Structure formats: C-alpha cells, structure tokens
Amino acid sequence: MLRINIILLLAIITMPFSFAQDCRKVDIKYTNKAKTVKEKLFACFVKDKRNPYLVSKDCLDDKCSYLQHPERNPINLRDTMSEFGSPGFKICHKLGGQPQIFEYEDKERGWLNADRCIFKEGTFVQTNRLETIWRHFILR
C-alpha cells in the first residue's frame, strides 16, 4: 500500500501542469487596410481559470520557441514608455511578432474581442499569455 501511494505521489509531482484545451476551427474577423477580413482559423482555447487564452496548435503548452525561456530573454519596456499600446503588444513587438486586434465567434456568447501576437511562421498566441509568461522578466 505504501508503495502504491509513493508511486501515485511521484506521478502527480512529475505530471506536466496543463489546462483543459479545446482545439477546433474558429471564425475570426479583423480589419486590414480599412477592410474587414473574415477567415477560418484552427486554434486552441486554453481554459486556464485565471487567464484563459487562444493559441495556435504549434504554440500549445508554450511549445513554440517564442514562449520558451523568458528568463534568458528579459524584455526591456523602458524604451517603449512613450509609445502607445498595451504591454502585451509591446512584448509582441520585442519578440519580433505582429500584434493584431481581432474578433472570434463563440457559439454561446457570439463575437468576442481579443488580441494576439502573430509570429513569422503564422503561429500565434493571445497577448495576455505573453504578459503572463514574461511578468517576472520585464524590465521597467
């Protein structure tokens, strides 16, 4: 019995920390050059109770390189104080991404506003996730 309890405890400790995920095609719309663009996008909804977010499948579980090792790449926002934009947009720029405001359709709640950081290869993450990952590694 003690052996089983130890094995269960080790399994729980070593289990990767993850949240409920729902990956599917999503209708989105955004404005580009004063025109509304509508498209279908494959995205994953991560249901973190404190900070839910939308992410491309390649960046799910923070797997894409842009989301890894923030401690090795602290971000200096001091030089962006005079610029407009949210902290998430500024982090996105510093990581070489392109921030975008968009809306996505939720079957229960209708169209919802969001913003994301799109990286070179088309992977993306909602900017609130960037703020969460880098919160301890932002120089102000």
Question: Residue 101, SS3?
Answer: strand
The predicted model scores a pTM of 0.80
Lowest-confidence range among 3-7, 23-27, 39-43, 112-116? 3-7
Identify residue 86 by its one-letter amino acid code.
S
Angle at 101 between CA 72 and CA 137, to 5 degrees: 15
Query: Domain spans of the chain?
Result: 20-139
Count of helices and strands (H, E) across the chain: 3, 8
Write out pLDDT tens, residues 28-58: 999 999 999 999 999 999 988 778 899 999 9
Beta bridge partners of 102: 114
Write out pLDDT tens, residues 61-93: 999 999 999 999 898 888 777 677 888 999 999
Q: Give residue 131's pLDDT.
A: 93
Q: Give residue 11's pLDDT.
A: 38
What percentage of the chain has pLDDT greater than the value 70? 86
Dist. CA 49–CA 132, nearest whole Å: 13
Write out pLDDT tens, residues 98-121: 999 999 998 888 999 999 999 999
Q: Give residue 76's pLDDT.
A: 87
- Residues 36, 98: contact at Cβ < 8 Å? no
Write down the mean pLDDT value for the chain: 84
Helix (H) or strand (E) holding 74: none
Identify residue 133 by its one-letter amino acid code.
I
Dist. CA 127–CA 30, nearest whole Å: 16
Under the phi-then-psi rule, with left for phi > 0, alpha for psi from -120 to 50, and beta for the rest, what region is 37? beta
